[in-house]
Structures are given as structure tokens and as C-alpha cells.
Structure 1
Amino acid sequence: MKLPLFVALSLTSLFAFAGEPGSPQSSTATSAQTAQYDYSEDLDIAKVVRITSANNAANPCAPVKAQMEYIDSKGVAHKLEYTRLGDACEHS
């Protein structure tokens, strides 16, 4: 009698944990999608994981596409695409 009860409680706790927002399964699913950033958005960034950008060899000061991967305060990973100036620009 104790074995079926143990199995039922174990399965219930397993499924309850799988649906939590901070669990690895849900953060992996979120990180697969890249969102386009709008400069009017407020971002919840707890930790930046990686920033990458493309270089424009013809005009190193032209706007380039960049991508940032970050983790929010709830532990969910995000990918964000945005446009920024190239690295060779003199920022005054």
C-alpha cells in the first residue's frame, strides 16, 4: 500500500517542479527565441551572459546588429537583438 502512494507523490512533485518558471526546461525554451528590442522597453537584467555583434568591413562606423543573452531576476534566460553603432565610431 505504501509503494503506490510513494509513486503517486513522487510523480506529482516531479510534474510540479517541471512547471516552475526558474526550472532549466522552461529557461531553455525561452532562450531559444530571440526578441527584437524596442528602446521604449524596460528590461529586467540580473546578469549578462554574452554580447555579440557583426562587423561592417565597408563602413566600420555604420549601425550593426548585435545580440545580447541575459538572465532576468527570476532566473529565466533571454536573447535580445538590437542595433548599435560600430566599434570604430568616435563617440562624442
Structure 2
Amino acid sequence: MKALLVLALSSLCATAMADEVPTDVAQQQPAVEEYTYSTHLDIAEIISMSEVPDVCEVVPMKMEYNDSKGQRHILRYSVMGNGCSNG
């Protein structure tokens, strides 16, 4: 009976700890913002940008940056791929 109680309590603790992990990660990772023509951009430092693929179509891109207040942002926008030829 004691072993069953210990097993139940340990699984409850593991579940509680598993619930806390995504919350901590969600607080560290900013929400992805969609770019529109009316989006005000306050970019002080670019952290990373995704690579433009060699395809001839519109592709989604992401840019992670810090604004002038030091807050981190992730911006999603679209660009034309590098795979189109002009001839």
C-alpha cells in the first residue's frame, strides 16, 4: 500500500513539474508577430534572420530582433525566393 502511495505521489509531482516547464519557456520566448504594411518597426539590433531559399515563389521568413528598449521580438514576413531567373 505504501509503494502504491509513493508511486501516485511521484507521478503527481512529475506531472506538476512538467506543467511548469512550458510556462517558463513561454515567458522567455516572445510571441511571433505578423508583419503588415502598417506595422511600426523599432529595430535596434537584429539577432537572427532565416535564410531565403532558392525557390521561385513567395516564402515565409522570420527575424528575431531587439527593439530600442531591449525587448526581444520575432517578426514573420514574406519574401520572394532567390530561385527565379530573369531570362
Q: TM-score range by the shorter chain?
A: 0.5 to 0.7
Q: Deviations over 1:6-36 (max 9, x none)?
A: xxxxxxxxxxxxxxxxxxxxxx837431011
**1:27-42 correspondence to structure 2 within 5 Å:** 29=27, 31-42=29-40
Of 51, 76, 79 in structure 2, the residue corresponding to residue 81 of structure 1 is 76
Give the match for residue 63 of structure 1: 58
Change (3 A) 1:62 1:47: same
RMSD: 2.5
Give the residue type in structure 1 aligned to 2:61.
A
TM-score (norm 1): 0.55
Q: Which amino acid aligns with 1:81?
A: R
Q: CA deviation at 1:40?
A: 1.9
Q: How many residue pairs are counted as aligned between the two chains?
A: 61
Q: Whose Rg is larger?
A: 2
Which residue of the partner structure matches residue 52 of structure 1? Answer: 50
Q: Structure 1: any 5+ residue segments left out of the alignment?
A: 1-27
Secondary structure, counterpart of 2:50 in structure 1? strand
Runs of 4+ in 1 over 6 A off after TM superposition: none
Q: Is the 8 Å Cα contact of residues 53 and 65 (structure 1) preserved in structure 2?
A: no
